[in-house]
Amino acid sequence: MTMLSWHIPQWNLIWEAVQKNRLPHALLLLGADDLEKKHFAEAVAATLLCVTPKQASPCGACHACHLVKAQSHPDLLWVEPLETGQVIKVDQIRELVLTVSETSMQGGLKIVILNPAHAMNIAAANALLKTLEEPSPNTLLILISDQRLRLPATIASRCQKIMFHKPPREIAHAWLQTQHVQQAELLLELANGFPLTARAFQTDNIMSLRQELYQGLHAMKSGHLDPLSFAATCQAFDVVSLLKLLQIWMRDLLRFNLTHGKAGLINSDYYAIFAEISSAISLKNSVKYADLVQNIYIKILHKLNLNKQLLFEELWITWTRYVSC
C-alpha cells in the first residue's frame, strides 16, 4: 500500500504533524472520488502502524505490515455500512468508541476509518461526537466523505479537513501506463479523470459493454438491428456507464465530423465506423443527438425515476432516424 504520487502533498501534512508529535485526533477526507480517498486512508493507516516506516511509506516487512495486509491488524478498525447504501448504525459507533477507549494491542496508535462518514444516522453521529470532543490519546479517526453537507457541522468542525483533487491528466496517464492498463485514455475518460477508478474499470465488464453498445449503434444504422429490440437488450446494462460511453461516442463523432481524422479520437479503433456514420448524419443532428444524450444523462444522475425501456427507445429510435436520413 504505497502513497500515490498525487497524494504526496496531503500526506506531507500528516507526516509533518507526526514528526512534531501533533497528529490531529480526527481527519476528514473530502473531495475527489471515493476510491482515491479510501486508498489514501489505507496508505496512511499502513504507514502509521508500521514499526519501521521507510521514507514515509510502510516497510512492508514488519509484523504490523503483515497484519495490515491481511486485514487483521487489531488496532485498525473499518466502520462501514453493513450493506452498500445503508446507514452506519449506532451499534457500530458504540463498538468504535469501545475500541478507542482500550489501550492499543501493539502499543502504538489506534486507527479507525469511517467510510462514508455521512452514512452515519443521527444517533450514530451523536455517539461519535463524544469521542471527538474528548478524544482518547493515541487514537486517529479518519472520516471519509464526498457529501460534506450531509455531515453534521458538529462533527465536521472537530476534524482537520484534507481536500483531494483530480490528478493532472499527464500524471494520471503515466500512472495507468505503469499499471499496464489497456485503453487507458478511454478508461480515464469514463472515470472522470480518476486513475484508480479507471484501473478498476479494466477488471469490470466495461469494455464488453462498450463493444455491445458501439456495435449496436452501427447495426441500427445499417438496418440490421431494430431499435426496440436493442432497447430491450439494454435493460440489462448499467445505465450510467452506458450513457457515459454514448457521450464519448458522440464526442468522437462530432470531432470526426469536424476534422475527418483519426487524431484526437478516444475510440480510435472505431475510426472506420465513424467515417461511415458521419457521412450519414448531419452535423446539426449530431449536435442535437449529443444534447439529447446529455439531458438524459443529467436526469439519470439526479436519480429521477425514469422508465429505462422508454428512455432507451427514445435514444435508439432517434438515433436510427438521424443516421438514416
Binders of Zn ion in range 154-193 (CB under 5 A): none
Q: Which grid cell is 271?
A: 475510426
What is the C-alpha to C-alpha distance for residues 260 and 278, in angstroms, rounded to an integer?
A: 9
Q: Which of 198, 20, 42, 211 is closest to 113 using CA atoms?
A: 42
Give 59 or 311: the residue with its C-beta nearer to Zn ion: 59
User: What residues contact 263, with CB distance under 8 A and at least 6 apart?
Assistant: none
If one asks whether residue 65 binds Zn ion (CB under 5 A), the answer comes out as yes
Give 65 or 112: the residue with its C-beta nearer to Zn ion: 65
Q: Quote the strand ranges of the chain, DSSP E.
A: 26-31, 76-79, 110-114, 139-145, 160-164
Q: Which stretch binds Zn ion (CB under 5 A): 65-73, 164-172, 207-215, 228-236?
A: 65-73
Could you tell me if 246 and 293 are in contact, meaning their C-beta atoms sit under 8 angstroms apart?
Answer: yes
Q: ω into residue 116 within 30 of 0, thus cis?
A: yes
Minimum distance from CB of 84 to Zn ion (Å)? 31
If one asks whether residue 67 binds Zn ion (CB under 5 A), the answer comes out as no
Q: How many residues interact with Zn ion (rule CB under 5 A)? A: 5
Q: Which stretch binds Zn ion (CB under 5 A): 7-15, 44-52, 92-100, 125-133?
A: 44-52
Minimum distance from CB of 69 to Zn ion (Å)? 10
What is the C-alpha to C-alpha distance for residues 229 and 242, in angstroms, rounded to an integer?
A: 16
If one asks whether residue 206 binds Zn ion (CB under 5 A), the answer comes out as no
Minimum distance from CB of 62 to Zn ion (Å)? 3
If one asks whether residue 50 binds Zn ion (CB under 5 A), the answer comes out as yes
Q: Which grid cell is 206?
A: 466495461
If one asks whether residue 217 binds Zn ion (CB under 5 A), the answer comes out as no
Selected from 17, 62, 90, 290, the binder of Zn ion by CB under 5 A is: 62
Residues that bind Zn ion (CB under 5 A): 50, 58-59, 62, 65
